[in-house]
Amino acid sequence: MPNVAKTNLALNQNYPNLVSAKAASAAGSSSKRKEHSDLDKLEGIKRQAGTGANAFLSGHGFETEVVSDIKNKLEDQDVVNLIQENKNFRAKCLDYKKRTEDLDLKVTRLRSELGQVRTEYEQLMAELTS
């Protein structure tokens, strides 16, 4: 619990109004407006610092930091995996696009060849009937 003591000392030194507002609240003071304002300041500070401030104030800074680092590394690995997967999909897409172009070219060539064969067939049928 030494982190809690350090936290309280830091709060007393840096935010004396906040600590006095909490003490007044505990004693049942009637200065609710001031108390509300100081608590808003604390919440603002917590929001600005993010999870680090919450972890520091709760006395579990190191544990939260380790968990946060592990989470960040896992998220980084997820990002790396997604980037690699994206590259793989782009390569497949490029391959499919090339295959589609090749097949379209083959269809065009076969249609042209079919037209020539039909023309030749019609000529042969015309020769046969004459």
Amino acid 125: pLDDT: 96
pTM score, whole prediction: 0.40
Instruction: Render the burial of 81-109: b for 16+ CB within 10 Å, e for the rest.
Output: eeeeeeeeeeeeeeeeeeeeeeeeeeeee
| DSSP track, 67-130 | HHHHHHHHHHHHHHHHHHHHHHHHHHHHHHHHHHHHHHHHHHHHHHHHHHHHHHHHHHHHHHH-
Q: pLDDT averaged over consecutive 10-residue blocks of the chain (130 residues)?
A: 52 53 51 56 59 50 73 85 96 98 98 98 94
Q: What is the pLDDT of residue 69?
A: 80
Residue 110 is predicted with a pLDDT of 99
The residue whose two tokens read 């023309």 is 119
CA distance 54 to 45: 10
Question: Which pLDDT belongs to residue 121?
Answer: 97
Q: What is the pLDDT of residue 45?
A: 62
pLDDT of residue 1: 45
